[in-house]
Copies of this chain bind each other. A is one copy, B any other.
Amino acid sequence: MIQRIYLLTAILVCYTGIVLSQTAFQVIPLGVKGGSDESNLSAYLVAVKGTSNYVCLDAGTIHAGLQKAIERGTLKGTATDTQKNLIKGYLISHPHLDHLAGMVITSPEDSPKPIYGLPFCLDVLKEKYFSWKSWANFGNEGEKPTLNKYRYTPLSTENEIPLDQTSMQVKAFDLSHAAPGQSTAFLLRDNKNYILYLGDTGADTIEHSQKLRQLWQQVGPLIQTKQLRAIFIEVSFPNEQPDKSLFGHLTPRLLMNELAVLDTYSGHALKGLPVVITHIKPSGDNEVKIKKQLQELNTLQVKLVYPEQGVMLEF
């Protein structure tokens, strides 16, 4: 009898362990850097674990990133076929060129799909990029004639919007990026699991904004219930960068200050949460400095993750 109870307990422990450690999302970074290198700029493929229906969060580098993922064995086939078949849509956080150049340059070879974004961002895509002057208009709005390959799909900060051809939903949040510059955070949900991606953003203290606080207030409870699987957030500069030269970006110190606010909204449940550091500006020894500074300031004990181009992450 006692043996039987032990056995049942053991099975239960194993089962619970499996459930808790089950990953919900898979992410393939197509580009991870915060500037300069055209072959490795912000773009992250996200799918529900075990599926191949990806959305692409920002789209700085597409082709060269897919090529790298294929070389590394993460994806199979050609870059162009992968882009056509696996990427079901783009979510663009803000319209700076390093977050969308790859999408524009590869558009002639791409298949029809939606481009999601807040209206301010879609407006710049129509006006500045798919404008015939800088590129053929592959969109379904803007300068005539429209080639109708991409369907502009506005996101909402009020409601979740379904992501076409996936089982995921997304809610958008306003961010401040060198105010009055705007940017966006995407809270993706599949079933009960969430993943949060922030485009370029400054700290509330520097931006004289409440945007990050409002976001932390919303997602804090999802950390408490272990539903939020990971946060993707930028650290562009090391701590030495003067406040007046941040141009709407974060440093290790500013990130950790923001995460401390999030920690309070999560009932101090941040320990172990994967925080994926994006958009490091690659000049000089920034990367080494930023990693060292983050480690030293990580009193909250979040799990710091440094994405690599073409290497799959699971959360």
* A contact residues vs B (CB 8 Å cutoff): 35-39, 41, 61-64, 67, 79-80, 95-98, 101-102, 104-106, 108-109, 124, 127-129, 131, 133-136, 247, 283
Contacts and interface: CB of A to CB of B under 8 A. Distances in A.
A85 B207 CA distance: 34
Contacts of A104: 97
Nearest to A61: B38
19 contacts: A35-B105, A36-B63, A36-B79, A36-B80, A36-B105, A36-B109, A38-B38, A38-B41, A38-B101, A38-B106, A39-B63, A39-B64, A80-B283, A97-B134, A97-B135, A98-B105, A109-B283, A127-B133, A128-B131
A299 to B, nearest CB: 32
Contacts of A131: 128
Contact of A67 (B37, B61, B64, B101): B37
A136 B104 CA distance: 19
Contacts of A96: 134-135
A41 B97 contact: no
Contacts of A61: 38-39
A100 to B, nearest CB: 9
A129 B134 contact: yes
A283 B63 CA distance: 12
A83 to B, nearest CB: 9
Contact of A38 (B102, B134, B135): B102
A127 B129 CA distance: 11
Contacts of A109: 35-36, 283
A78 to B, nearest CB: 9
Contact of A101 (B37, B64, B97): B97
A302 B64 CA distance: 33
Given A96-B135, A97-B134, A136-B247, 9 more contacts: A38-B39, A38-B64, A38-B102, A39-B39, A41-B105, A97-B104, A101-B101, A124-B134, A128-B134
A31 to B, nearest CB: 9
- Which of A62, A95, A108 neighbours the largest number of chain B CB atoms within 10 Å of its CB? A108
A63 B105 CA distance: 17
A265 to B, nearest CB: 33
A101 B62 CA distance: 14
Contact of A62 (B38, B67, B105, B108): B38
Nearest to A124: B133
Contacts of A98: 105
A127 B80 CA distance: 31
Nearest to A83: B36
Contact of A129 (B35, B102, B108, B128): B128
Nearest to A62: B38
A131 B95 CA distance: 11
